[in-house]
Amino acid sequence: MKRVQPGGAPDNPSAREPVRVALGLGSNIGDKRAFVRTAIEQIAQSDGITVVARSADYRTAPWGLADQDWFVNACIVVETTLSAEDLLARALEIERRLGRVRDIRWGPRKIDIDVLVYAGEEIAEEGLSIPHPRIAERAFVLVPLAEIWPDAPVGGGLTAAGALAACTDADTIEMLRD
């Protein structure tokens, strides 16, 4: 397990002051916007989590497996007292409750919730890598993240805005209006 806090300080699991976290959400089955909205509502109702910012919804092309319907993607910034592991467990619980089935990598899904950034920490554990390992390659994540937290540390010394400026992902991303 590798875990480094900003400045190289060791992790202190007993210190649970609220930390700033970015979550990415996506859906490409059914009422996509409703799934994203419901997931955000369930996150906001969770103990130890406060949603502090929400991006617009974006219509995006599928990534990784092109032969599927388009996605709705969004990001939220939360403050949480949950550990990264507990936050991931909560996200997976919400995915399951909303009908997420994991059978095809990068395949269609009712809802996907990714922990993108956790308090500027770098975490490499089985099942949990933060910052998200492919964040700098994915405009569908960087566009909504840079909208609400341009200075989010996304790894490699880059911020969300800096990574977006350098991103070569040319897939179409369209902001959805109400």
Cβ burial of 166 (10 Å; 0-12, 13-18, 19+) is exposed
Band of the pLDDT at 65, cuts 50, 70, 90?
low
Residue range 63-69: average pLDDT? Answer: 68
Show the tokens assigned to 134: 């492919």
Band of the pLDDT at 100, cuts 50, 70, 90?
low
Angle at 103 between CA 130 and CA 176, to 5 degrees: 65
- Residues belonging to the active site: 100, 109, 112, 114
Q: According to the model, what pLDDT value does residue 114 have?
A: 93
Query: In 3D, which of 127, 126, 158 has the Cα closest to residue 141?
Result: 158
pTM above 0.85, yes or no: yes
Higher pLDDT, 153 or 133: 153
Rounded-to-integer distance, Cα 83 and Cα 112, Å:
19
Query: What residues contact residue 134 under an 8 Å CB cut-off, 6+ apart?
Result: none
Average model confidence (pLDDT) across the chain: 87
CA distances from 168 to 70, 85, 146, 150, 171 (A): 19, 31, 16, 18, 9
Band of the pLDDT at 169, cuts 50, 70, 90?
confident
Query: In 3D, which of 162, 154, 80 has the Cα closest to residue 117?
Result: 154
Instruction: Using the predicted structure, report yes or no on whether residue 159 has a pLDDT greater than 90.
Output: yes
Show the tokens assigned to 165: 């400026």
Instruction: Using the predicted structure, report yes or no on whether residue 3 has a pLDDT greater than 60.
Output: no
Q: According to the model, what pLDDT value does residue 22 have?
A: 98
Is CATH 3.40.50.720 what the domain over 2-7+19-175 is classified as, yes or no? no
